Amino acid sequence: MPSPMIEVRSLRMYFPVGNNLFGKRRQLKAVDGVSFDLYPGETFGLVGESGCGKTTVGRALVRLYKPTDGQIIYQGTDIAPLDEKEVQPYRRRMQMIFQDPYASLNPRMTVSSIIAEPMKLQQAPQDAIDARVAELVEQVGLKKDHLNRYPHEFSGGQRQRIGIARALAMHPEFVVCDEPISALDVSIQAQVINMLEELQQQMGMTYLFVSHDLSMVRHISHRVGVMYLGHMVELAEVEELYSNMLHPYTQALMSAVPIADPDLAAQSRRIVLQGDVPQPIDPPPGCPFASRCRHCMPVCREALPGMREVSPGHYLACHLK
């Protein structure tokens, strides 16, 4: 395999949430020791339920957040400890497509100004900006007469296309797609996904695709990582993961995917999790999934399982296997 574009090592992202009754500082452990690699030209899917830390990982990778601890090795350079001035040269090479197309666009700026903003921040010449804006509008399926309109004049799908054009303005190598279709109608979702795939083929970009939609993740991803309560619990190539789920949480998560065929749906078995989700503030020791796992053993409540390779390219964090 080629060398990784990005190597994430023991990434931690903690947020202070005040002090407890004894004056001890409390921290919300949104991401707690996540490690994985991203390879050039691939789409890495990141799945898990709400609050598991998927978006926080994406924001940390593009340095919207400065990690509490760990490494983000981008093409040989650890960008995690860099300050804002030092990280600026990497900003143009990494971009993010945000989840909400209604909140991520400035309502007081025209489409042309929104797409041009990253290039103006990088002090590109105006003629180059104008040419690039015209090119991007065509690439994302909008019209040139849209350039002087404002975001409120567009549908959700069109707004997301504007956000995608803005993310691509500086020819990025790496793009975090943070649930880019969750706020869109089903009829529009396939169009946006197909456009992202076409742009990836044309520009050779690497994607981190964060989503709740497990069927869409299977369609677009090359490899998939499953997160639970700030931890990566399973990681494998997409077909290996969907056909050979080993972690009890992955099995429960995949069992919730709707099946269109009524005969197959009747034969499938939904795994309903019992128990409560631990608090990410001062979580209990051991495996984060222990309180809901139907296979929980005494060791699960005492020791955190490490991530290990159980078969070529298939990684698992579980005491059971």
The CATH number of residue 287's host domain is 3.40.50.300
* Domain annotation covers residue 45: yes
Tell me the per-residue pLDDT of 62-113, one tens digit each, with 9 for 90 and over: 999 999 999 999 999 999 999 988 998 888 899 999 988 889 999 999 999 9
pLDDT of the residue at 1: 66
* Domain annotation covers residue 321: no
pLDDT of the residue at 273: 83
Q: Say which residues have a Cβ less than 8 Å from residue 240's Cβ, sequence separation at least 6.
A: 311, 313, 314
* Domain annotation covers residue 1: no
* Domain annotation covers residue 258: yes
- Same domain (yes/no): 157, 191: no
- Same domain (yes/no): 197, 287: yes
* Domain annotation covers residue 307: yes
For residues 122 and 55, the model is more confident at 55
CA angle (312, 314, 319) in 5-degree steps: 120
Q: Say which residues have a Cβ less than 8 Å from residue 278's Cβ, sequence separation at least 6.
A: 229, 284, 288, 291
- Same domain (yes/no): 157, 297: no
- Same domain (yes/no): 149, 292: no
Mean pLDDT of the residues in the chain: 90
* Domain annotation covers residue 183: yes
- Same domain (yes/no): 152, 263: no
Residue 71 CB neighbour total at 10 angstroms: 16
Q: Say which residues have a Cβ less than 8 Å from residue 219's Cβ, sequence separation at least 6.
A: 193
> Region 282-310: what's the mean pLDDT?
92
C-alpha to C-alpha distance for 150 and 219, rounded to whole angstroms = 33
- Same domain (yes/no): 188, 42: yes
pLDDT of 170 strictly over 80: yes
- Same domain (yes/no): 142, 273: no
- Same domain (yes/no): 223, 298: yes
pLDDT band at residue 261 under the 50/70/90 scheme: low
pLDDT of the residue at 265: 62
* DSSP strand pairing (174-178 vs 94-97): parallel
C-alpha to C-alpha distance for 212 and 216, rounded to whole angstroms = 9
Tell me the per-residue pLDDT of 3-49, one tens digit each, with 9 for 90 and over: 999 999 999 999 998 777 667 788 899 999 999 999 999 999 999 98
* Domain annotation covers residue 228: yes
> Region 232-254: what's the mean pLDDT?
94
- Same domain (yes/no): 46, 113: no
Question: Considering 171, 201, 226, which residue would you say is the last residue of a domain?
Answer: 171
Question: Considering 171, 204, 220, which residue would you say is the last residue of a domain?
Answer: 171
Q: What is the DSSP letter of 315?
A: E
* Domain annotation covers residue 98: no
- Same domain (yes/no): 23, 35: yes
3-state secondary structure at position 177? strand
Tell me the per-residue pLDDT of 130-156, one tens digit each, with 9 for 90 and over: 999 999 998 888 898 999 999 999 988
Tell me the per-residue pLDDT of 176-203, one tens digit each, with 9 for 90 and over: 999 988 877 887 888 888 889 998 998 8
Question: Considering 129, 152, 171, which residue would you say is the last residue of a domain?
Answer: 171
pLDDT band at residue 316 under the 50/70/90 scheme: very high
C-alpha to C-alpha distance for 37 and 233, rounded to whole angstroms = 15
| Total number of domains constituting the chain | 2
pLDDT of the residue at 21: 67
- Same domain (yes/no): 112, 151: yes
Strands (E), the chain: 6-19, 25-38, 43-47, 69-74, 77-78, 94-97, 174-178, 206-210, 223-228, 231-237, 308-311, 314-316
pLDDT of the residue at 190: 86
Domain region containing 22: 6-93+173-316
Nearest Cα to 164, choosing from 150, 175, 153, 148? 175
- Same domain (yes/no): 85, 198: yes
